[in-house]
A and B are shown apart, each in its own frame.
Chain A
Amino acid sequence: MASNIQPVPFAQTTEVESLFREWRSPLERYLVCSGMARDEALDIVQDTFLRLHQHLLAGGDRANLRAWAFRVAHNAALNRRKSGAWRLTSPLAEASRTAVAADPERLLFHKERFRRLHAAMKELTSAERACVLLRSEGLRYREIAEALEIPMSTIADHLDRALRKLGEKCNV
Protein backbone atom coordinates (compact mmCIF):
# COMPACT_ATOMS: atom_id res chain seq x y z
CA MET A 1 0.00 0.00 0.00
CA ALA A 2 1.49 3.33 -1.04
CA SER A 3 1.97 6.10 1.49
CA ASN A 4 1.63 9.79 1.04
CA ILE A 5 3.53 11.64 3.75
CA GLN A 6 3.77 15.39 3.96
CA PRO A 7 4.88 17.68 6.77
CA VAL A 8 2.22 20.00 8.10
CA PRO A 9 2.69 23.59 9.28
CA PHE A 10 1.71 23.75 12.96
CA ALA A 11 -0.48 26.83 12.55
CA GLN A 12 -2.57 25.04 9.94
CA THR A 13 -2.90 21.93 12.06
CA THR A 14 -3.91 23.95 15.11
CA GLU A 15 -6.78 25.54 13.21
CA VAL A 16 -8.01 22.18 11.95
CA GLU A 17 -7.62 20.76 15.44
CA SER A 18 -9.77 23.45 17.00
CA LEU A 19 -12.45 22.93 14.33
CA PHE A 20 -12.11 19.19 14.94
CA ARG A 21 -12.89 19.62 18.62
CA GLU A 22 -15.87 21.82 17.83
CA TRP A 23 -17.47 19.88 14.98
CA ARG A 24 -16.58 16.22 15.34
CA SER A 25 -19.46 15.42 17.73
CA PRO A 26 -22.10 17.28 15.69
CA LEU A 27 -20.89 15.57 12.50
CA GLU A 28 -20.84 12.19 14.19
CA ARG A 29 -24.35 12.66 15.60
CA TYR A 30 -25.65 13.73 12.22
CA LEU A 31 -24.29 10.61 10.52
CA VAL A 32 -25.31 8.16 13.25
CA CYS A 33 -28.81 9.61 13.50
CA SER A 34 -29.07 9.24 9.73
CA GLY A 35 -28.64 5.50 10.29
CA MET A 36 -24.92 4.97 9.82
CA ALA A 37 -22.92 2.59 12.04
CA ARG A 38 -20.78 4.36 14.63
CA ASP A 39 -17.38 3.25 13.34
CA GLU A 40 -18.28 4.20 9.79
CA ALA A 41 -19.54 7.57 10.96
CA LEU A 42 -16.23 8.14 12.78
CA ASP A 43 -14.38 7.11 9.65
CA ILE A 44 -16.23 9.71 7.61
CA VAL A 45 -15.72 12.36 10.28
CA GLN A 46 -11.96 11.76 10.23
CA ASP A 47 -11.95 11.83 6.46
CA THR A 48 -13.90 15.09 6.47
CA PHE A 49 -11.24 16.73 8.64
CA LEU A 50 -8.42 15.45 6.45
CA ARG A 51 -10.19 17.00 3.50
CA LEU A 52 -10.78 20.20 5.45
CA HIS A 53 -7.08 20.30 6.20
CA GLN A 54 -6.24 19.88 2.52
CA HIS A 55 -8.90 22.44 1.60
CA LEU A 56 -7.37 25.07 3.91
CA LEU A 57 -3.83 24.18 2.89
CA ALA A 58 -4.77 24.70 -0.76
CA GLY A 59 -6.18 28.13 0.10
CA GLY A 60 -9.79 27.02 -0.39
CA ASP A 61 -12.78 29.22 0.38
CA ARG A 62 -13.00 29.93 4.12
CA ALA A 63 -16.56 31.25 4.09
CA ASN A 64 -19.17 28.92 5.58
CA LEU A 65 -16.69 26.25 6.59
CA ARG A 66 -19.19 24.53 8.85
CA ALA A 67 -21.65 24.06 5.98
CA TRP A 68 -18.71 22.89 3.86
CA ALA A 69 -17.80 20.22 6.44
CA PHE A 70 -21.38 18.97 6.72
CA ARG A 71 -21.69 18.86 2.93
CA VAL A 72 -18.52 16.75 2.63
CA ALA A 73 -19.74 14.36 5.34
CA HIS A 74 -23.25 14.22 3.89
CA ASN A 75 -21.96 13.40 0.41
CA ALA A 76 -19.52 10.80 1.73
CA ALA A 77 -22.43 9.12 3.50
CA LEU A 78 -24.53 9.23 0.32
CA ASN A 79 -21.69 7.61 -1.65
CA ARG A 80 -21.35 4.81 0.87
CA ARG A 81 -25.07 4.19 0.80
CA LYS A 82 -25.03 4.03 -3.02
CA SER A 83 -22.05 1.66 -3.02
CA GLY A 84 -23.90 -0.62 -0.58
CA ALA A 85 -21.06 -0.27 1.92
CA TRP A 86 -23.27 1.50 4.45
CA ARG A 87 -24.14 -0.87 7.28
CA LEU A 88 -27.46 0.20 8.71
CA THR A 89 -27.54 0.37 12.45
CA SER A 90 -30.10 1.28 15.03
CA PRO A 91 -29.47 4.55 16.83
CA LEU A 92 -32.22 3.41 19.16
CA ALA A 93 -30.13 0.53 20.48
CA GLU A 94 -27.28 2.95 21.14
CA ALA A 95 -29.61 5.46 22.74
CA SER A 96 -31.19 2.86 25.02
CA ARG A 97 -27.82 1.64 26.21
CA THR A 98 -26.79 5.19 26.91
CA ALA A 99 -29.98 5.83 28.83
CA VAL A 100 -29.31 2.79 31.02
CA ALA A 101 -25.81 3.95 31.80
CA ALA A 102 -26.68 7.58 32.31
CA ASP A 103 -29.79 7.41 34.45
CA PRO A 104 -31.41 4.05 35.28
CA GLU A 105 -34.48 5.64 36.87
CA ARG A 106 -35.40 7.47 33.72
CA LEU A 107 -34.73 4.50 31.47
CA LEU A 108 -38.35 3.70 30.72
CA PHE A 109 -39.18 7.32 30.10
CA HIS A 110 -36.22 7.75 27.74
CA LYS A 111 -36.79 4.44 26.07
CA GLU A 112 -40.39 5.21 25.23
CA ARG A 113 -39.66 8.72 24.03
CA PHE A 114 -36.69 7.60 21.94
CA ARG A 115 -38.66 4.66 20.55
CA ARG A 116 -41.42 6.95 19.29
CA LEU A 117 -38.96 9.48 17.94
CA HIS A 118 -36.87 6.82 16.27
CA ALA A 119 -39.90 5.23 14.60
CA ALA A 120 -41.10 8.63 13.42
CA MET A 121 -37.63 9.60 12.14
CA LYS A 122 -37.60 6.54 9.93
CA GLU A 123 -40.78 7.67 8.24
CA LEU A 124 -39.43 11.07 7.23
CA THR A 125 -38.07 11.62 3.73
CA SER A 126 -34.28 11.81 3.67
CA ALA A 127 -34.41 15.58 3.04
CA GLU A 128 -36.80 16.13 5.96
CA ARG A 129 -34.65 14.03 8.28
CA ALA A 130 -31.45 15.74 7.18
CA CYS A 131 -32.99 19.19 7.70
CA VAL A 132 -34.30 18.38 11.16
CA LEU A 133 -30.99 16.81 12.27
CA LEU A 134 -28.88 19.68 10.94
CA ARG A 135 -31.21 22.19 12.58
CA SER A 136 -30.79 20.25 15.80
CA GLU A 137 -27.02 20.78 15.51
CA GLY A 138 -27.61 24.51 15.37
CA LEU A 139 -27.04 25.10 11.66
CA ARG A 140 -28.67 28.18 10.15
CA TYR A 141 -31.07 27.63 7.26
CA ARG A 142 -28.45 29.06 4.89
CA GLU A 143 -25.94 26.45 6.13
CA ILE A 144 -28.46 23.61 5.87
CA ALA A 145 -29.20 24.61 2.28
CA GLU A 146 -25.49 24.64 1.46
CA ALA A 147 -24.78 21.34 3.19
CA LEU A 148 -27.61 19.53 1.41
CA GLU A 149 -27.32 21.51 -1.82
CA ILE A 150 -31.01 22.36 -1.90
CA PRO A 151 -32.66 25.80 -2.21
CA MET A 152 -32.85 27.75 1.04
CA SER A 153 -36.50 28.56 0.33
CA THR A 154 -37.38 24.88 0.82
CA ILE A 155 -35.80 24.48 4.28
CA ALA A 156 -38.67 25.89 6.32
CA ASP A 157 -41.17 23.70 4.47
CA HIS A 158 -39.06 20.56 5.01
CA LEU A 159 -38.80 21.44 8.70
CA ASP A 160 -42.52 22.11 8.92
CA ARG A 161 -43.40 18.70 7.46
CA ALA A 162 -40.72 16.93 9.50
CA LEU A 163 -41.71 18.48 12.83
CA ARG A 164 -45.39 17.89 12.08
CA LYS A 165 -44.81 14.17 11.45
CA LEU A 166 -42.52 13.83 14.47
CA GLY A 167 -44.96 15.73 16.68
CA GLU A 168 -47.91 13.56 15.67
CA LYS A 169 -45.99 10.40 16.57
CA CYS A 170 -44.26 11.64 19.68
CA ASN A 171 -46.73 13.77 21.58
CA VAL A 172 -48.31 11.54 24.18
Chain B
Amino acid sequence: MCELARSRLIAWIDGELEGAEALAVSAHVESCPTCQGEARAIRSLSRDIGEYARAVTARPRPASYKWLAAAAVVVLSVGLMWIRPEREPAVSETRPAHPGVLVAVPLDEVLPVGAAPPGAMLVGYMDFDATGQPSSFRVQ
Protein backbone atom coordinates (compact mmCIF):
# COMPACT_ATOMS: atom_id res chain seq x y z
CA MET B 1 0.00 0.00 0.00
CA CYS B 2 0.92 3.64 -0.37
CA GLU B 3 0.83 6.56 2.05
CA LEU B 4 -0.79 9.05 -0.36
CA ALA B 5 -4.49 9.59 0.40
CA ARG B 6 -6.59 8.79 -2.63
CA SER B 7 -8.61 11.99 -2.23
CA ARG B 8 -5.36 13.95 -2.67
CA LEU B 9 -4.52 11.95 -5.77
CA ILE B 10 -7.96 12.82 -7.21
CA ALA B 11 -7.52 16.50 -6.32
CA TRP B 12 -4.09 16.40 -8.01
CA ILE B 13 -5.60 14.85 -11.16
CA ASP B 14 -8.27 17.55 -11.15
CA GLY B 15 -5.67 20.31 -10.89
CA GLU B 16 -6.99 21.38 -7.51
CA LEU B 17 -3.63 21.29 -5.70
CA GLU B 18 -1.26 24.24 -5.73
CA GLY B 19 2.40 25.01 -5.28
CA ALA B 20 4.44 22.75 -3.05
CA GLU B 21 1.56 20.36 -2.47
CA ALA B 22 1.08 19.78 -6.19
CA LEU B 23 4.82 19.27 -6.67
CA ALA B 24 5.00 16.80 -3.79
CA VAL B 25 2.16 14.69 -5.21
CA SER B 26 3.67 14.83 -8.72
CA ALA B 27 7.00 13.60 -7.36
CA HIS B 28 5.31 10.82 -5.44
CA VAL B 29 3.23 9.60 -8.38
CA GLU B 30 6.30 9.55 -10.58
CA SER B 31 7.95 7.06 -8.26
CA CYS B 32 4.89 5.06 -7.20
CA PRO B 33 3.50 2.41 -9.57
CA THR B 34 0.45 1.94 -7.32
CA CYS B 35 -0.57 5.58 -7.67
CA GLN B 36 0.19 5.53 -11.41
CA GLY B 37 -2.24 2.65 -11.77
CA GLU B 38 -4.81 4.40 -9.57
CA ALA B 39 -4.49 7.60 -11.58
CA ARG B 40 -5.04 5.69 -14.82
CA ALA B 41 -8.13 3.99 -13.39
CA ILE B 42 -9.54 7.28 -12.09
CA ARG B 43 -9.01 9.02 -15.45
CA SER B 44 -10.58 6.14 -17.35
CA LEU B 45 -13.58 5.99 -15.02
CA SER B 46 -13.98 9.77 -15.29
CA ARG B 47 -14.10 9.46 -19.09
CA ASP B 48 -16.78 6.77 -18.78
CA ILE B 49 -18.88 8.97 -16.52
CA GLY B 50 -18.61 11.86 -18.96
CA GLU B 51 -19.64 9.65 -21.88
CA TYR B 52 -22.54 8.24 -19.92
CA ALA B 53 -23.75 11.74 -19.03
CA ARG B 54 -23.47 12.94 -22.64
CA ALA B 55 -25.27 9.89 -23.99
CA VAL B 56 -28.16 10.48 -21.62
CA THR B 57 -29.00 13.80 -23.23
CA ALA B 58 -27.70 13.24 -26.75
CA ARG B 59 -31.14 12.70 -28.22
CA PRO B 60 -32.71 15.78 -29.79
CA ARG B 61 -34.50 17.96 -27.27
CA PRO B 62 -38.28 17.58 -27.40
CA ALA B 63 -38.79 21.22 -28.35
CA SER B 64 -38.18 21.19 -32.09
CA TYR B 65 -36.54 24.40 -33.26
CA LYS B 66 -37.93 23.89 -36.75
CA TRP B 67 -41.44 23.81 -35.34
CA LEU B 68 -40.70 26.87 -33.24
CA ALA B 69 -39.81 28.97 -36.25
CA ALA B 70 -43.49 29.54 -37.05
CA ALA B 71 -44.18 30.70 -33.50
CA ALA B 72 -41.13 32.95 -33.62
CA VAL B 73 -42.44 34.78 -36.67
CA VAL B 74 -45.74 35.43 -34.90
CA VAL B 75 -43.99 36.85 -31.87
CA LEU B 76 -41.73 39.04 -33.98
CA SER B 77 -44.73 40.58 -35.68
CA VAL B 78 -46.28 41.37 -32.32
CA GLY B 79 -43.16 43.03 -30.99
CA LEU B 80 -40.00 42.05 -29.31
CA MET B 81 -40.62 41.39 -25.68
CA TRP B 82 -39.31 39.18 -22.99
CA ILE B 83 -42.39 37.31 -21.98
CA ARG B 84 -42.56 35.61 -18.65
CA PRO B 85 -45.74 33.61 -18.02
CA GLU B 86 -46.87 33.32 -14.42
CA ARG B 87 -46.24 29.83 -13.21
CA GLU B 88 -48.95 27.50 -11.94
CA PRO B 89 -49.68 28.42 -8.32
CA ALA B 90 -48.45 25.14 -6.90
CA VAL B 91 -46.77 21.95 -8.00
CA SER B 92 -49.17 19.75 -6.08
CA GLU B 93 -52.59 18.35 -6.98
CA THR B 94 -53.46 21.50 -8.94
CA ARG B 95 -50.57 20.84 -11.31
CA PRO B 96 -51.87 19.64 -14.68
CA ALA B 97 -50.62 16.29 -15.96
CA HIS B 98 -48.65 17.97 -18.76
CA PRO B 99 -47.80 21.49 -17.66
CA GLY B 100 -45.59 22.07 -20.69
CA VAL B 101 -41.97 22.99 -20.92
CA LEU B 102 -40.76 26.53 -20.53
CA VAL B 103 -38.78 27.24 -23.66
CA ALA B 104 -36.34 30.03 -24.41
CA VAL B 105 -34.99 29.93 -27.95
CA PRO B 106 -32.44 32.33 -29.42
CA LEU B 107 -34.34 33.64 -32.47
CA ASP B 108 -31.28 33.55 -34.70
CA GLU B 109 -31.30 29.76 -34.33
CA VAL B 110 -34.73 29.46 -35.94
CA LEU B 111 -34.87 32.39 -38.36
CA PRO B 112 -32.75 33.21 -41.43
CA VAL B 113 -29.59 35.20 -40.67
CA GLY B 114 -30.44 38.87 -40.15
CA ALA B 115 -34.17 38.31 -39.73
CA ALA B 116 -34.08 38.68 -35.95
CA PRO B 117 -32.41 41.48 -33.99
CA PRO B 118 -29.21 40.20 -32.39
CA GLY B 119 -29.76 38.58 -29.01
CA ALA B 120 -33.54 38.32 -29.33
CA MET B 121 -35.16 35.31 -27.67
CA LEU B 122 -38.51 33.63 -27.82
CA VAL B 123 -39.91 32.52 -24.48
CA GLY B 124 -43.08 30.56 -23.81
CA TYR B 125 -44.60 27.25 -22.82
CA MET B 126 -44.39 24.30 -25.19
CA ASP B 127 -46.96 21.52 -24.79
CA PHE B 128 -46.51 17.98 -26.02
CA ASP B 129 -48.95 15.27 -27.05
CA ALA B 130 -48.76 11.65 -25.89
CA THR B 131 -46.17 10.76 -28.56
CA GLY B 132 -43.82 13.52 -27.42
CA GLN B 133 -44.46 15.76 -30.42
CA PRO B 134 -44.97 19.48 -29.77
CA SER B 135 -48.72 20.19 -29.85
CA SER B 136 -48.97 23.85 -28.92
CA PHE B 137 -46.94 26.83 -27.88
CA ARG B 138 -48.25 29.37 -25.39
CA VAL B 139 -46.75 32.84 -25.27
CA GLN B 140 -48.92 34.20 -22.53
Interface positions of A (Cβ within 8 A of B): 1-8, 10-11, 13-14, 16-17, 20-21, 25, 28-30, 32-33, 38-39, 42-43, 46-47, 49-50, 53, 79-80, 83-85, 91, 94-95, 97-99, 101-102, 110, 113-114, 117-118, 132-133, 135-137, 140-141, 156-157, 159-160, 163-164, 166-167, 170-171
- Identify the B interface with A (CB < 8 A): 5-8, 10-11, 14, 16, 41-42, 45-46, 48-50, 52-59, 61-63, 80-86, 90-92, 95, 99, 101-104, 106, 117-121, 123, 128, 140
5 cross-chain pairs, A with B, having the tightest CB-CB distances, nearest first: A14-B119, A8-B82, A160-B7, A46-B102, A156-B7
A101 nearest CB neighbor, chain B only? B59
Q: Which residues of A contact B41 (CB under 8 A)?
A: 167, 171
Min CB gap A43→B, angstroms: 5
Contacts A/B (CB < 8 Å), 17 sampled: A7-B82, A8-B81, A11-B119, A14-B118, A14-B119, A95-B55, A98-B58, A101-B59, A102-B55, A117-B52, A135-B14, A141-B16, A163-B10, A166-B45, A167-B42, A167-B45, A171-B45
B82 touches A118 (CB 8 A): no
- Please report whether the interface of chain B is mostly helix, strand, loop or mixed according to DSSP: mixed
Q: Which of B7, B46, B58 contacts A136 (CB 8 A)?
A: B46
Are the C-beta atoms of A25 and B57 separated by less than 8 Å? Answer: yes
Q: Which of B8, B52, B103 has the most CB of A within 10 A?
A: B52
Is chain A's binding surface mostly helix, strand, loop or mixed? helix
Cβ–Cβ < 8 Å partners of B81 in chain A: 5-8
Chain B residues with Cβ below 8 Å from A94 are: 55-57, 59
